Structure 1
Amino acid sequence: MIRMFWTMAALVGLLVSVASAPAQQRFPAKPVRLLIPYAAGGAVDILGRTLGDELSKKWGQPVVIENRTGAGGTIASQVVAKSEPDGYTLVIIASGHAINPYLYKQLPYDTFKDFTPISLLGSSPNMLLVAANSRFKTLADVLAEARAKPGSLSYGMSGIGTSTHLAGELLKYMAKVHITAVSYKGGAPQINDLLGGHIPLSFNNIPESIGQIRAGSLRVLGVTSAKRAAVLPDRPTIAEGGVPGYDTGVWWGLLGPGGMPLDLAAKISKDCAEALHTPAVKQRLDNLGAAVLGTTGPEFDKFIRDEYQKWGPIIKAAGIKGS
């Protein structure tokens, strides 16, 4: 009887050991769902599909892309926040995730508690653009007119709280000028109005603008990052153009539901970093003007919190509210 008891105890112990084996050893055993909070064809979608293809090869399981647009990315994020923390439902977020608590009074989730940061995947600067025939030849020209005629200028941006909106507000905040923001549903419509002479200035991202820049129909007055963009090395930064310390851009990262096992989050983070740095993926993202990063989860967590603290005073000063 005693021998049977110890035999059963050993068997139970073995089963518990197998069940509690590190989650990363069994992941993934089925398709992984990757939510994209933005429409197909944009920079985030391209990044998500490129990463998903490479992870599918690495994991031997499909990574199923699902575009869930709307409400500044909060719809897709809400789905992930309410999912099981097993790694099978993930979301690629953009810069707006860190500032949504300032824009929306009642978010359907806690930005920090309800997610597991996995990796800061990449980043890219935005640019201050004018049409090729614009009277503005430099950023100094823009700032001079903005100071001489406060409120007379406007700039196009791709929606309330987007990185292009924040780029414009940061310029106003640091240069102490008043320029009116004009919101568009994406980068393409505002570029059309810029080329048509309906707005004098535009903040836009590199992937949506680089074709017109290389064709000569758009001119870059300043790149928003601290360093010049690798794909446009002859274009100056806004800091170089007369606003020292100016530095911002768009970034993208991967989140899972809150409470994911640390070893599982670390495995996905490591796999993402390896996927991003394969020559084919890196080349494709470089062509879009995106700097490949692939950080650890704790590094990404700190980054999100730093972004939240950075933008608070600027958003409050500008009175920005979500739609």
Structure 2
Amino acid sequence: MPFAIYSPSRRAFWLAGAALATLLCAPLAHAGSDYPNKPIKLVVPYPPGGPTDIVARVVAQKLSERLGQSMVIENRPGAGGNLGAEAVARSPADGYTLVVATTAHAINPSLFSKLGYSITKDLAPISQLTAGPLVIVATPSLAASNVKELIALAKTKSGGINYASSGNGQSTHLSAELFNAMAGVKMNHIPYKGSAPALTDVMSGQADVMFDTMLSAMPFVKGGKLKAIAVTSAQRSPSAPDIPTVAESDLPGFEAIAWNGLMAPAGTPREVIDRLNAELKKVLESPDVKQRFDAQGFAAQWNTPANFNSFVQSEVEKWAKVAKASGAKLD
């Protein structure tokens, strides 16, 4: 009667094999239990000095302290934020490469006919970081100080009015196109690679106006280098209550909000996503972070991965309608 399969040597062989398999699988089964055990790269798809970069550096510093690992900022600007986002979408889904997504990443699917990634399929939501209105700022010498005067000037100025943006497809671009459509004007678009160089040219008069985040624009308004015309939210901003909204000025119903959020490559382990989300909640609820963002017109905004996912989906749908109505298209 055959019994070799039960022999001590064969049994020892199978036991050794099983033990080896267990050892090999253990790191996979508990891949996120010791996360993070090395530095984390945070990709900012815009140049240094702009609003997204500012938010990223504040969050990275605080998150690094809580995680006990350094966070390395990598600025990868280009293609309206798409280059950096696509690079992260193609990175290993292990939680060590993250990206700061913005309103632009929800807009871009409606503007670019070909994208190398999908924000809803190739990136995993972790949490929103900030939300806030844009502010229309102008070079101090511009002969318009409110929305009504800006519209009148855009209709009569020879050559029209030039508006700067932080890049094609950004909220700073499409919010101005929404303004064009609702006001019945055609301001000329000048795209830049980020808010910092765009604001520099508005301050010098190379461009007339810009729809920018309060986080990056308001310090120059307070310093007298730019003048504020209106904010783009439905209500006035608590950090700048003297600046009227576009809606109350001359365009009822106008609203455009900018946001930032943290995302990882799709397929990142759930426990890694949850760890980052839990630590972000503490970071964004800390008084010093809230105070720093509030002072610049952004509200610290934490939410669950599920809620952030729903928010991103709704933003994609919202801006698709705006892009269609404005006729804006990029390639």
TM-score normalised by structure 1 residue count: 0.86
In structure 2, relative to structure 1, the CA distance for the partners of 1:65 and 1:156 (3 Å cut) is closer
In structure 2, relative to structure 1, the CA distance for the partners of 1:158 and 1:11 (3 Å cut) is closer
Per-residue displacement from partner, 1:109-140 (whole Å, max 9, x unpaired)?
22221111111111232111223343223212
Match of 1:175 in 2: 183
Match of 1:252 in 2: 260
In structure 2, relative to structure 1, the CA distance for the partners of 1:33 and 1:167 (3 Å cut) is same
Asked whether 1:203 is paired with 2:203, we answer no
The one-letter amino acid paired with 1:69 is P
Q: CA deviation at 1:25?
A: 3.3
Which of 161, 168, 171 aligns to 1:153? It is 161
In 2, the alpha carbon distance for the partners of 1:186 and 1:20 equals 40
Q: Secondary structure at the match of 2:222?
A: helix
In 2, the alpha carbon distance for the partners of 1:216 and 1:283 equals 23
The one-letter amino acid paired with 2:85 is S
Q: Secondary structure at the match of 1:243?
A: coil
Unmatched runs of 5 consecutive residues or more in structure 2: 1-5
Match of 1:105 in 2: 113
Deviates more, 1:160-169 or 1:222-231: 222-231
1:66-215 equivalent positions in 2, closer than 5 A? 66-146=74-154, 152-215=160-223
User: 1:239·1:246 contact (CA, 8 Å) conserved in 2?
Assistant: yes
In 2, the alpha carbon distance for the partners of 1:122 and 1:313 equals 23
1:5-84 equivalent positions in 2, closer than 5 A? 24-84=32-92
The one-letter amino acid paired with 1:55 is L
In 1, the alpha carbon distance for the partners of 2:279 and 2:190 equals 40
Per-residue displacement from partner, 1:35-61 (whole Å, max 9, x unpaired)?
111122222222222212212211112
Q: Secondary structure at the match of 2:105?
A: helix
In structure 2, relative to structure 1, the CA distance for the partners of 1:85 and 1:183 (3 Å cut) is closer
User: 1:173·1:314 contact (CA, 8 Å) conserved in 2?
Assistant: no
Q: CA deviation at 1:69?
A: 2.1
Q: CA deviation at 1:196?
A: 4.2
In 1, the alpha carbon distance for the partners of 2:76 and 2:206 equals 31
In structure 2, relative to structure 1, the CA distance for the partners of 1:95 and 1:32 (3 Å cut) is same
Identity %, equivalent residues: 36
Unmatched runs of 5 consecutive residues or more in structure 1: none
In structure 2, relative to structure 1, the CA distance for the partners of 1:182 and 1:77 (3 Å cut) is closer
Q: Secondary structure at the match of 1:137?
A: coil
In structure 2, relative to structure 1, the CA distance for the partners of 1:321 and 1:9 (3 Å cut) is same
Match of 1:321 in 2: 329
RMSD: 3.0
In 2, the alpha carbon distance for the partners of 1:56 and 1:194 equals 35
Q: CA deviation at 1:18?
A: 5.7
In 2, the alpha carbon distance for the partners of 1:190 and 1:69 equals 14
User: 1:49·1:65 contact (CA, 8 Å) conserved in 2?
Assistant: yes
In 2, the alpha carbon distance for the partners of 1:144 and 1:78 equals 41
Asked whether 1:222 is paired with 2:230, we answer yes
User: 1:86·1:260 contact (CA, 8 Å) conserved in 2?
Assistant: yes
Which of 299, 312, 316 aligns to 1:308? It is 316
Aligned pair count reads 323
In 2, the alpha carbon distance for the partners of 1:288 and 1:22 equals 41
The one-letter amino acid paired with 2:168 is I
Per-residue displacement from partner, 1:6-31 (whole Å, max 9, x unpaired)?
x9999799869965766553321222
User: 2:125·2:305 contact (CA, 8 Å) conserved in 1?
Assistant: yes
Q: Secondary structure at the match of 2:125?
A: strand
In structure 2, relative to structure 1, the CA distance for the partners of 1:36 and 1:183 (3 Å cut) is closer
